[in-house]
Amino acid sequence: KTIESLGDLKGKRVLVRSDFNVPLDADKNITDDGRIQAALPTLRTLLDAGAKVVVVAHLGRPKGEVNPDYSLAPVATRLAEVAGVSVTLAEDTVGESAKAAVAAMGEGEIVLLENVRFNAAETSKDDAEREAFAAELAALADVFVSDGFGVVHRKQASVYDVAKILPSAAGLLVLKEIESLGRAITDPERPYTVVLGGSKVSDKLGVIANLLSKADRLIVGGGMAYTFLVAQGHEVGTSLLEADQVETVKGYIATAKDNGVELLLPVDTVVAPYFGADAPATVVASSAIPADQMGLDIGPQTRTIFADAIADSKTVVWNGPVGVFEFEAFAEGTKAVAKAISESDAFSVIGGGDSAAAVRTLGFDESTFSHISTGGGASLELLEGKVLPGIAVLEG
């Protein structure tokens, strides 16, 4: 259901679930406001329609307790700047402050409720507890718009239960995400290449398993590549390794072979004696990583192999950086992957908070990618082929 299905919204209170879980530095400055920018089309549509927009969102995982470190105050300030309207931050989520702010608001204004995860019921496993809290949220509005794509894989009160109480619709961001990721997942133009990186194999087991019957080519880099290298019989020094996943990965390597999926792993690696921005970097063959060194990026030969594979693809999905791109000395691999995707004519989807942040912080033009997803876990679960509760509830 789309926003139009909710009818005339003039003067109506619209509760919008957004994903404003943005990275903050130690001084509480937002270091990447991609998720705030991505929320604007829906918010503008609602404001232009004369709605009173009440936004509910979370920041981090404050474990059900009020904690000023996780306040949405920096988000309220940035949202006001980028949306160009006044944003009132309520001091609580469903309490007196929230009720008063909503009662006082005018058409075309935004009230941002304080971090919904300050309330333990939001993430409770107990259905009744969540439903009771969702009813309090619902009492603040007339209709609900679900637009926090990054959180639609969570069965939480402000994502799932509230949609069962109020007339509900998917926001523009959620629609765009589902359409773009769906195009890559269900009907990819081939060759279909998936690039996986990031630190942990265990985060991506479901994705890999699902892709072994769908993708033509699987490229693995980042911290998770070392578990693959060990599964192939190599030593990886002090690199990240998930020893308990080696057997599973061996199974994946065999399945890839059986299914004719081309599996590309780093053939050379940039290593250093320790993890740090100033660590001295050397390039070695991936089959000869010294015992006292750790791999922190893919090497130059691998960059070329990965880039060529990407150039030869019609659909590319990328999730997770292939090196420690936050450190300049180990950013070349991730830059090379981003560059190859941005220069290719393939339909490209960048999924996962880290790769999306990499694309932006490394200075790539966002318009050269077909779609940059705002979802981390949510986009991974879609790639796994899972049904996401926050989407299913809108369809039901």
The site for ligand 3PG (CB under 6 A) is made up of 19, 21, 61, 150-151, 154, 353, 376-377
Between 323 and 352, name the residue whose CB sits nearer to ligand 3PG.
352
Q: Is 17 known to sit in a ligand binding site?
A: no
Q: Is 354 known to sit in a ligand binding site?
A: yes
Look at residues 352, 229, 276, 205 and name the one whose alpha carbon lies nearest to residue 360.
352
Between 21 and 334, name the residue whose CB sits nearer to ligand 3PG.
21
The rounded distance, in Å, linking the Cα atoms of 275 and 188 is 38
353 included as an active-site residue = yes
Q: Is 342 known to sit in a ligand binding site?
A: no
Which of 50, 108, 206, 377 is the catalytic position? 377
Q: Is 97 known to sit in a ligand binding site?
A: no
Q: Is 117 known to sit in a ligand binding site?
A: yes
Between 21 and 302, name the residue whose CB sits nearer to ligand 3PG.
21
Which of 99, 183, 200, 314 is the catalytic position? 200
Q: Which residue is nearest to ligand 3PG (CB)?
A: 21
Which of 12, 35, 130, 360 is the catalytic position? 35
CB of 75 to ligand 3PG, least distance (A): 12
Look at residues 267, 265, 266, 251 and name the one whose alpha carbon lies nearest to residue 212.
251
Q: Is 369 known to sit in a ligand binding site?
A: no
Residues counted in the chain: 396
| Residues contacting residue 104 through CB under 8 Å, at least 6 positions apart | none
CB of 174 to ligand 3PG, least distance (A): 13
The rounded distance, in Å, linking the Cα atoms of 78 and 24 is 12
- What is each CA distance from 217 to 61, 191, 267, in whole angstroms? 35, 8, 16
The rounded distance, in Å, linking the Cα atoms of 298 and 290 is 15
Q: What are phi and psi of 317, to 5 degrees?
A: -115, 130
377 included as an active-site residue = yes
Which of 197, 222, 353, 375 is the catalytic position? 353
- DSSP conformational letter for 64: T
Between 34 and 353, name the residue whose CB sits nearer to ligand 3PG.
353
The rounded distance, in Å, linking the Cα atoms of 206 and 384 is 5
CB of 307 to ligand 3PG, least distance (A): 28
The rounded distance, in Å, linking the Cα atoms of 258 and 277 is 41
200 included as an active-site residue = yes
Q: Tokens 């690199």, residue?
A: 239
CB of 378 to ligand 3PG, least distance (A): 7
Return the biggest CA–CA distance within the chain: 67
The rounded distance, in Å, linking the Cα atoms of 100 and 396 is 33
Between 151 and 231, name the residue whose CB sits nearer to ligand 3PG.
151
Instruction: Provide the annotated binding site for (2R)-3-phosphoglycerate.
Output: 35, 117, 154
What positions carry a catalytic annotation?
A: 35, 200, 353, 377
Instruction: Provide the annotated binding site.
Output: 19-21, 35, 58-61, 117, 154, 204, 295, 326, 352-355
Instruction: Provide the annotated binding site for substrate.
Output: 19-21, 35, 58-61, 117, 154
